[in-house]
Amino acid sequence: MFKNTLSVDTFRGLKLVGKSKILPGAYLAGGTALALRLGHRRSVDLDFFTRKKFNEQIVVRRLKKLGKFKEKTVDWQTVMGSLFGVSFSLFYFEYPLVGKTDQFEGVAIASLKDIAAMKLRAIGDRGTKRDFVDLFFLAKEMRLAEVFQLYHKKFGGLTEQKYHLWRALNYFEDADKDVLPKMFRPVEWSQVKRFFNGEVKKLAAELKLTRG
């Protein structure tokens, strides 16, 4: 794992969460999990997911015992706040894992397969520059057509969603406004956009799609 991709406070928070075992069944996903696996960029947020229902107030109390935790949103099966000044979230997430997690500092880290499916979903919702950059590097590990199949395996409904997801892969209007994260594996935003513009043409045939 590339722990150098984490900020000091992110690593501190991650290590304490892992040591304390206060989030049983939870796994780290999102950009930080991917940065740990690929070493491609800086990531600071701690985004945890679990298929086990939890008591929100108990989780908050346990987090506060760890250190400087400040809650921002505590709702049904949702805890959001900051731990040592780093964005922290825990969500109940009903969808199954499609790959095996790995342990790092006592924390389960989501597989590339799961992160890829979740990144495609995020891009379908409203892709940030970070999401596109992450999927760009994931595409060096697996074909984008495979990512679509992983999406279906994790979330289902690909038949209904694949055209929307395909179109989202080269919709950059929102992402253009974002700041490129600090990169450890150099890449230009223009390079990322060129890649996806080319890939959507290939995917149209692989997914048996035509532009509407």
Give the Cα separation of 86 and 27 in Å (integer): 17
- Tell which residue, 185, 45, 42, 33, has the closest CA to residue 111: 33
**Per-residue pLDDT tens for 21-66?**
888 899 999 999 999 999 999 999 999 999 999 999 999 999 999 8
Name every residue whose Cβ is closer than 8 Å to that of residue 136 and which is 6 or more positions away in sequence: 187, 192, 195, 196
CA distance 46 to 10: 7
Q: What is the mean pLDDT of residues 81-99?
A: 96
Report the number of secondary-structure helices (H) and strands (E) in the chain.
8, 7
With bands split at pLDDT 50, 70 and 90, how would you rate the model's confidence at 212?
very low
Among the listed residues 23, 192, 30, the one whose alpha carbon sits nearest the alpha carbon of residue 115:
30
Q: What is the pLDDT of residues 109-165, one digit of tens each?
A: 999 999 999 999 999 998 999 999 999 999 999 999 999 999 999 999 998 999 999
Q: With a cut of 70, say whether residue 81 has pLDDT above it.
A: yes
Record the pTM: 0.94
- Give the pLDDT of residue 174: 94
CA 51/CA 25 separation, integer angstroms: 7
List the beta bridge partners of residue 50: 92
pLDDT for res 208: 80
Strand duo 102-104 + 46-50: pairing? unpaired
State the DSSP string of 107-145. Answer: EEE--HHHHHHHHHHHHHHH--HHHHHHHHHHTTTS-HH
pLDDT at 91 > cutoff 70: yes
The pLDDT, as a whole number, for residue 152 is 96
| Residue ranges of domains in the chain, CATH in brackets | 3-110 (3.30.460.10), 113-206 (no CATH)
Question: Cα-flanking dihedrals φ and ψ of residue 50, to 5°?
Answer: -150, 145
**Quick one: pLDDT at residue 68?**
85
Which pLDDT does position 203 carry in this prediction?
93
Distances (CA, A) of 49 to 11, 46, 96, 142: 18, 10, 11, 23
How many whole angstroms separate alpha carbon 181 and alpha carbon 30?
14
Q: For a pLDDT cut of 90, what percent of the chain falls above it?
A: 90
